[in-house]
């Protein structure tokens, strides 16, 4: 039987090897923070981290993540500067895409602690927000970067 | 800490309890355990349908509007809390069940969210609900202390008796207050005493939306519920002619295949099994009368129709004669395509149908219609159907369907398989299966005098009626569906001779309101054409508008504010150009200035948008700014990208690669300025959308001399190399 290592917990899962990770996370593990938006890696709502890298879970099979560490929105602590910045700037509207947005933003800041606007454009353009919260996402990423680097830019 | 009820732990008030019984019933969720009152809350004071005060000092506000991003789960509690003098940190909220007490205050016999009406329609009712409770709590305290109620006052969830410095919490008064009869006169605070309203309170739903715990419709129903996907006909109006479902049935995980009016459902133990099963269906479709439907043909038909007189929406003076006599006349034809709502959360619905009841967990804007539709389909009485309103992953009007299409489909599947199901439309289903903003074709003419002033205006609109065929069809007067002409028949500009008429052809393409409805196309046409007139008159488009708006101070104020913010008329960075537009809708006034550049390859880049809004009295300014920011993005997606088109009866688009919406890298810098106003509250969810397209296209004209008369903007039209 396959197993999934999600947010520090190992879950045995009785699913076909080629089942998409997104749906196994949602339907078998009950972790519904990770969202379905398009199924073809166009919207980023299903973004999770696999060994620390942001990936579209709708495009990844259970087989491909055997032995890898998966982090979902539920695995990002509430004290994380990105989550705090998202609350400070009241970023979400409907909120549906934001777990994916936050996963992409957390990964961006790990890679680039003080991202420029161009870095944000590059890292975040795969995450759609139909409510149009992009300006606040940008602001919150800068805020989180400042919090992480102690205000040094 | 504020809490938003996590919806898989929701409770429902028994109807009787709404008016004072205080009894709370638990409900069972599919795959979940029976719910109960959360620990710690003892309900004892339920002064009305919108409010519960617990003896533990909890204040629960019941919200009859759907939260789809517009912030009603914060703005509506603010209305109650202001008059209640509640301690804001103790406020919790709960979505309302379907009950007449929660009907829309302006729409009559139905519960629903739309038309940018939430704050303006609840402004008085929810404040009154809070004020009534405060009056009763003060009386309860006065009785306890044996003092006059007039010598007491309420503050921060307490009643105070200043002469004796006594203070008692609402929770401690709840039981006593519950025994009092409601007050007969309930005065509301004068504006100068408002403390909470008009301040940027943090949204109550943000924490749950940031940590992934917010439960949307698609998240309801628990693990292991059966998943249903539906194969819809490739052409609207198509039916199953023959079906071979053996391979689908034999697909691992597939439990059932159900033929519906609207297609063929595959029910499985997982999404992927349902998807594979659906792929394995062999269906021969009777494609019906729309099998040859083509956008190219439809455009020609609409253009021809626009040359003929339609149903009259406005007739003032003699526009025909004035056009002929004018010093100069200008003519143009505009068109915009069908548009999908493309809500971020694709349509879905969870249903548990039993012999004597039906529970529906759904992100909906039309609770009553959905409940009644579910009752019809299931054969139950409406009161046996419970609609549990979940967070909506966007609405934009798509989840307010008088036909309740996706709810009906889900209940039919549940009825056939006799098990709880979660029906999900894939993104492709969501893009291809309707409903859409109608396609519109506009023919417009104006005459200007020797000074450049418009003297005649004639506008013919062609496009499907949204109201036709719905329970709202009675609102169609003399062949005119108001939602087709709003923003066109009521242009504010001082023009003596105006004629606006309408053709409402039937096509078989399902249409629906789409954020800002008729205004989404009329503002584009009117505000672009007004720019054409300014250009023909050789005048500045901003000054030209101001001169024609002398009797419309609110239009003028937002125009001036947006122009000031943008620095209208001042030098811009090289190759950057401004465009301006103003439009009133849903009781609010919005002007926008777009700063745009056009690359030699025709790509339009919107750098900045300056937005001024007058929505009357404000509740939560930060939410207003957020709605303007979001509306601008929504409008830009339609201006730069969106189109649903048909070939051989089939929708040509399927997902975000061929129905693109704005992405981060295209996001302009948006500045929002709110006009201070003492006018009645207006809407805020939609009014930011209409001015975007004309402001951008007017800037494109300034940049290139090329007038955009068809959306979305085609880069090949603007190519200079």
Exposed, middle or buried, B142 (CB in 10 Å: 0-12/13-18/19+)? middle
pLDDT attached to residue B156: 98
Rg (Cα) of chain A, in Å, rounded? 15
Average pLDDT, stretch B393-401? 98
The reply to whether B670 touches chain A by the CB within 8 Å rule is yes
Q: What is the pLDDT of residues B541-563, one digit of tens each?
A: 999 999 999 999 999 999 999 99
For testing the chain B interface, which of A124, A132, A133, A138 should be mutated: the one with the most B CBs within 10 Å?
Answer: A132
Considering the domain architecture, whether residues A68 and A88 belong to the same structural domain is answered as: no
Average pLDDT, stretch B331-346? 98
Is A35's CB within 8 Å of B393's CB? Answer: yes
Considering the domain architecture, whether residues A36 and A86 belong to the same structural domain is answered as: no
Give the Cα separation of B433 and B348 in Å (integer): 13
Average pLDDT, stretch B308-326? 98
At B113, list the tokens.
């969210």
Strand pairing partners for B448?
Answer: B328, B454
H helix runs in B263-363, sequence order: 271-280, 295-305, 319-325
- Determine the residue of chain B that is closest to A23 in CA distance: B271
Closest residue by Cα to residue B156 from B143, B167, B147: B167
The reply to whether A94 touches chain B by the CB within 8 Å rule is yes
pLDDT attached to residue B12: 30
The reply to whether B392 touches chain A by the CB within 8 Å rule is yes
At B156, list the tokens.
């921060």
Considering the domain architecture, whether residues A71 and A6 belong to the same structural domain is answered as: yes
| B31 has a pLDDT exceeding 50 | no
Average pLDDT, stretch B509-534? 98
Q: Yes or no: say if B438 and B357 are a contact pair by the CB < 8 Å rule.
A: no
Chain A residue numbers touching B626 (CB-CB < 8 A)? 90, 93, 133, 136
Q: How confident is the model at residue B299 (pLDDT cuts 50, 70, 90)?
A: very high
State how far residue B70 is from chain A, nearest Cα, in angstroms. 6
Average pLDDT, stretch B295-320? 98
Q: How confident is the model at residue B41 (pLDDT cuts 50, 70, 90)?
A: low
Considering the domain architecture, whether residues A53 and A103 belong to the same structural domain is answered as: no
> What percent of chain B has a predicted confidence (pLDDT) above 70?
94
The reply to whether A114 touches chain B by the CB within 8 Å rule is no
Q: Is residue A65 part of a domain?
A: yes
CA distances from residue B178 to B18, B105, B134, B197, B367 in whole angstroms, order as listed: 12, 25, 12, 27, 29
At A38, list the tokens.
């398009």
The reply to whether A142 touches chain B by the CB within 8 Å rule is no
DSSP state of B438: P
The reply to whether A51 touches chain B by the CB within 8 Å rule is no
Q: ipTM of the predicted structure? A: 0.97
For testing the chain B interface, which of A21, A96, A98, A123 should be mutated: the one with the most B CBs within 10 Å?
Answer: A96
Rg (Cα) of chain B, in Å, rounded? 27
Nearest to B656 among A30, A43, A96 (CB): A43
Considering the domain architecture, whether residues A61 and A92 belong to the same structural domain is answered as: no
pLDDT attached to residue B93: 94
The reply to whether A11 touches chain B by the CB within 8 Å rule is no
Is A96's CB within 8 Å of B393's CB? Answer: yes
| Per-position b or e across B274-310, b if 16+ CB within 10 A of its CB | bbbbbebbebebebeebbebebeebbeebeebbeeeb
pLDDT attached to residue B40: 52
Nearest to B210 among A40, A102, A131 (CB): A102
- Determine the residue of chain A that is closest to B216 in CA distance: A96
Strand pairing partners for A35?
Answer: none
Closest residue by Cα to residue B622 from B204, B105, B247, B32: B204
At B630, list the tokens.
């979001």
Average pLDDT, stretch B107-124? 95
Q: Yes or no: say if B73 and B207 are a contact pair by the CB < 8 Å rule.
A: no
The reply to whether A7 touches chain B by the CB within 8 Å rule is no
Give the Cα separation of A80 and B552 in Å (integer): 49
- Determine the residue of chain A that is closest to B395 in CA distance: A94
Considering the domain architecture, whether residues A13 and A68 belong to the same structural domain is answered as: yes
Q: What is the pLDDT of residues B186-236, one digit of tens each?
A: 999 999 999 999 999 999 999 999 999 999 999 999 998 999 999 999 999
Q: How confident is the model at residue B720 (pLDDT cuts 50, 70, 90)?
A: confident
Spacing of C-alpha A134 from chain mean position: 16
End-to-end CA distance of chain A: 48
Is B426's CB within 8 Å of A132's CB? Answer: no
- Hey, what domains does chain B have and what are their CATH numbers? 3-211 (3.30.365.10), 217-288+347-424 (3.30.365.10), 295-338+436-718 (3.30.365.10)
State how far residue A62 is from chain B, nearest Cα, in angstroms. 12
Q: Is residue A97 part of a domain?
A: yes
Instruction: Per-residue pLDDT tens, chain A, 153 aa: give them.
Output: 899 999 999 999 999 999 999 999 999 999 999 999 999 999 999 999 999 999 999 999 999 999 999 999 999 999 999 999 999 999 999 999 999 999 999 999 999 999 999 999 999 999 999 999 999 999 999 999 999 877 544
- Determine the residue of chain A that is closest to B635 in CA distance: A132
Closest residue by Cα to residue B350 from B214, B219, B213: B219
| Per-position b or e across B687-712, b if 16+ CB within 10 A of its CB | bbbbbbbbbbbbbbbbbbebbbbbbb
The residues, ordered by sequence, that sit 6+ positions from B184 with a Cβ below 8 Å of its Cβ are none
- pLDDT: which is higher, B39 or A65: A65
Considering the domain architecture, whether residues A68 and A85 belong to the same structural domain is answered as: no
Considering the domain architecture, whether residues A61 and A96 belong to the same structural domain is answered as: no
- Out of A75, A94, A121, a domain closes at A75
Window 586-645 of B, Cβ < 8 Å to A: 622, 626-627, 629-634
The reply to whether A1 touches chain B by the CB within 8 Å rule is no
**Domain coverage including residue A37:** 2-75
CA distances from residue B192 to B121, B195, B196, B197, B602 in whole angstroms, order as listed: 21, 8, 11, 11, 52
Average pLDDT, stretch B703-721? 95
Nearest to B667 among A78, A96, A134 (CB): A134
The C-alpha angle B490, B496, B499, rounded to 5 degrees, equals: 55
Strand pairing partners for B613?
Answer: B590, B674
Q: What is the pLDDT of residues B652-689, one digit of tens each?
A: 999 999 999 999 999 999 999 999 999 999 999 999 99
Is B344's CB within 8 Å of A128's CB? Answer: yes
DSSP state of B345: S
Window 164-223 of B, Cβ < 8 Å to A: 202-203, 205-216, 218-219, 222-223
Beta-carbon neighbour count of residue B195 at 10 Å?
Answer: 12
Closest residue by Cα to residue B342 from A77, A128, A106, A23: A128
Considering the domain architecture, whether residues A115 and A55 belong to the same structural domain is answered as: no
Q: Yes or no: say if B670 and B609 are a contact pair by the CB < 8 Å rule.
A: yes
C-alpha atoms less than 13 angstroms from C-alpha of B63 in its C-beta half-sphere: 32
**Domain at A36, CATH number:** 3.10.20.30
**Domain at A94, CATH number:** 1.10.150.120
Give the Cα separation of B243 and B259 in Å (integer): 9
Q: What is the rounded average pLDDT for all residues in chain B?
A: 94
The C-alpha angle B294, B395, B129, rounded to 5 degrees, equals: 145
State how far residue A118 is from chain B, nearest Cα, in angstroms. 8
Q: How confident is the model at residue B44 (pLDDT cuts 50, 70, 90)?
A: confident
Q: Is residue A153 part of a domain?
A: no
Nearest to B663 among A28, A32, A125 (CB): A125
* Residue that has been written with the tokens 């889900």 in this structure: B410
- Out of A75, A108, A127, a domain closes at A75
Is A93's CB within 8 Å of B212's CB? Answer: no
Element (H, E) at B131: helix B118-145
C-alpha atoms less than 13 angstroms from C-alpha of B103 in its C-beta half-sphere: 9
pLDDT attached to residue B43: 62
Q: How confident is the model at residue B269 (pLDDT cuts 50, 70, 90)?
A: very high
- Three-state DSSP at B270 gives coil
Considering the domain architecture, whether residues A48 and A69 belong to the same structural domain is answered as: yes
Element (H, E) at B500: strand B497-503
Give the Cα separation of B494 and A78 in Å (integer): 56
State how far residue A67 is from chain B, nearest Cα, in angstroms. 22
Nearest to A131 among B394, B424, B657 (CB): B394
The residues, ordered by sequence, that sit 6+ positions from B419 with a Cβ below 8 Å of its Cβ are B226, B267
- Determine the residue of chain A that is closest to B70 in CA distance: A93
Give the count of domains, chain A: 2
Closest residue by Cα to residue B688 from B651, B639, B635, B610: B635
Q: How confident is the model at residue B128 (pLDDT cuts 50, 70, 90)?
A: very high
DSSP annotation string for B604-659:
EEEEEEEEEEE-SS-S-HHHHHHHHHHHHHHHHHHHHT--B-EETTEES--STTTS
pLDDT attached to residue B27: 29
- Out of A41, A75, A109, a domain closes at A75
Give the Cα separation of A130 and B513 in Å (integer): 17
Give the Cα separation of B371 and B381 in Å (integer): 9
| B180 has a pLDDT exceeding 60 | yes
State how far residue B627 is from chain A, nearest Cα, in angstroms. 8
Nearest to A16 among B252, B661, B670 (CB): B252
CA distances from residue B62 to B133, B158, B238 in whole angstroms, order as listed: 14, 21, 42
Considering the domain architecture, whether residues A136 and A102 belong to the same structural domain is answered as: yes
| B261 has a pLDDT exceeding 60 | yes
Task: Using DSSP bridges, classify how beta strands B311-316 and B646-647 pair: parallel, antiparallel or unpaired.
Answer: unpaired
At A76, list the tokens.
């990002």
Considering the domain architecture, whether residues A68 and A98 belong to the same structural domain is answered as: no
pLDDT attached to residue A1: 86
At A113, list the tokens.
């602690």
Give the Cα separation of B201 and B606 in Å (integer): 31
Task: Using DSSP bridges, classify how beta strands B348-353 and B358-362 pair: parallel, antiparallel or unpaired.
Answer: antiparallel
pLDDT attached to residue A148: 81
DSSP state of B65: S
- What are the φ and ψ backbone dihedral angles of B99, each rounded to 5 degrees? -165, 145
CA distances from residue B717 to A120, A130, B601, B636, B695 in whole angstroms, order as listed: 31, 27, 10, 18, 18
Q: Yes or no: say if B45 and B58 are a contact pair by the CB < 8 Å rule.
A: no
């Amino acid at each position: 039987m396959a197993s999934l290592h999600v947010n520090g917990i190992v879950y045995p899962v009785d699913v076909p090897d080629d089942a998409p990770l997104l749906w196994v996370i949602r339907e078998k593990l009950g972790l519904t923070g990770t969202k379905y938006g398009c199924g073809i890696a166009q919207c980023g709502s299903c973004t999770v981290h696999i060994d620390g890298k942001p990936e579209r879970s709708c495009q990844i099979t259970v087989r491909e993540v055997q032995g890898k560490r998966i982090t979902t929105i539920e695995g990002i602590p509430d004290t994380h500067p990105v989550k705090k910045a998202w609350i400070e700037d009241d970023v979400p509207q409907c909120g549906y895409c934001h777990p994916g947005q936050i996963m992409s933003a957390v990964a961006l800041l790990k890679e680039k602690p003080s991202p420029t606007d161009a870095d944000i454009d590059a890292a975040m353009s795969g995450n759609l927000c139909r409510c149009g919260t992009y300006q606040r996402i940008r602001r919150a990423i800068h805020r989180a970067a400042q919090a992480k680097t102690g205000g040094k830019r | 800490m504020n809490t938003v009820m996590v919806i898989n732990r929701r409770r429902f008030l028994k109807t009787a309890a709404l008016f004072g019984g205080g009894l709370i019933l638990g409900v069972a969720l599919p795959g979940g355990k029976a719910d109960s009152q959360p620990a710690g809350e003892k309900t004892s004071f339920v002064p009305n349908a919108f409010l519960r005060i617990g003896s533990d000092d909890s204040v629960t506000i019941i919200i009859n509007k759907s939260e789809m991003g517009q912030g009603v789960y914060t703005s509506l509690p603010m209305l109650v809390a202001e008059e209640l003098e509640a301690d804001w940190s103790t406020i919790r909220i709960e979505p309302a069940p379907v009950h007449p007490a929660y009907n829309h205050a302006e729409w009559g016999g139905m519960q629903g969210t739309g038309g940018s009406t939430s704050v303006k329609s609840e402004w008085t009712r929810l404040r009154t609900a809070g004020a009534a409770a405060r009056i009763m709590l003060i009386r309860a305290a006065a009785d306890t202390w044996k003092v006059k109620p007039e010598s007491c006052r309420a503050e921060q969830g307490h009643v105070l008796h200043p002469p004796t410095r006594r203070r008692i919490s609402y929770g401690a008064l709840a039981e006593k207050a519950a025994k009092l009869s409601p007050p007969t006169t309930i005065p509301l605070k004068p504006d100068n005493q408002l403390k909470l309203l008009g301040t940027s309170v943090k949204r109550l739903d943000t924490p749950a939306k940031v940590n992934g715990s917010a439960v949307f419709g698609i998240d309801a129903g628990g693990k292991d519920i059966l998943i249903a996907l539906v194969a819809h006909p490739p052409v609207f109006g198509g039916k199953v002619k023959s079906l071979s479902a053996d391979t689908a049935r034999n697909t691992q995980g597939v439990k059932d295949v159900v033929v519906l009016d609207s297609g063929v459902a595959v029910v499985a133990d997982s999404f992927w099994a349902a998807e594979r099963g659906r792929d394995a269906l062999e269906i021969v479709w009777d494609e019906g009368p729309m099998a040859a439907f083509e956008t190219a043909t439809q455009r020609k038909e609409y253009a021809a129709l626009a040359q003929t007189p339609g149903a009259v929406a406005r007739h003032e003076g003699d526009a025909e004669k004035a056009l002929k006599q004018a010093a100069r006349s200008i003519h143009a034809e505009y068109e915009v395509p069908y548009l999908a709502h493309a809500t971020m959360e694709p349509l879905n619905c969870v249903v548990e149908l039993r012999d004597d009841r039906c529970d529906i967990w759904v992100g909906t804007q039309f609770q009553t219609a959905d409940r009644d539709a579910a009752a019809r389909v299931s054969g139950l009485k409406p009161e046996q159907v419970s609609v549990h309103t979940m967070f909506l992953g966007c609405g934009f009007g798509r989840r307010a369907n008088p036909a309740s299409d996706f709810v009906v489909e889900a209940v039919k599947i549940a009825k056939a398989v006799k098990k709880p199901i979660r029906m999900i439309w894939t993104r492709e289903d969501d893009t291809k299966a309707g409903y859409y903003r109608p396609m519109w074709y506009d023919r417009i003419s104006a005459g200007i005098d020797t000074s450049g002033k418009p003297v005649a205006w004639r506008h013919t609109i062609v496009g499907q009626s949204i109201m036709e065929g719905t329970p709202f069809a009675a609102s169609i007067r003399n062949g005119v569906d108001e939602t087709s002409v709003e923003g066109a028949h009521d242009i504010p500009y001082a023009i003596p001779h105006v004629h606006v008429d309408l053709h409402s052809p039937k096509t078989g393409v399902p249409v629906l309101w789409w954020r800002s409805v008729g205004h989404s196309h009329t503002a584009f046409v009117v505000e672009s054409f007004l720019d054409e007139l300014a250009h023909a008159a050789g005048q500045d488009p901003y000054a030209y508008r101001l001169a024609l708006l002398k009797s419309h101070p609110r239009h003028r104020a937002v125009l001036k504010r947006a122009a000031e913010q943008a620095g209208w008329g001042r030098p811009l960075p090289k190759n950057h150009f401004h465009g301006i537009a103003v439009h009133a809708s849903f009781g609010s006034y919005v002007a926008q200035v777009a700063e745009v550049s056009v690359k030699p390859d025709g790509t339009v880049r919107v750098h900045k948008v300056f937005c001024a809004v007058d929505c009357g009295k404000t509740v939560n300014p930060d939410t207003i700014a957020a709605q303007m920011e979001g509306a601008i993005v929504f409008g830009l997606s339609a201006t730069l990208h969106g189109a649903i088109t048909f070939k051989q009866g089939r929708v040509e688009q399927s997902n975000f690669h061929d129905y693109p919406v704005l992405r981060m890298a295209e996001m302009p810098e948006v500045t929002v300025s709110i006009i201070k106003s003492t006018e009645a509250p207006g809407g805020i969810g939609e009014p930011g959308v209409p001015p975007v397209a004309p402001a951008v296209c007017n800037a494109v004209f300034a940049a290139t001399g090329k007038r955009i008369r068809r959306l979305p903007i085609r880069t090949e039209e603007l190519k200079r190399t």
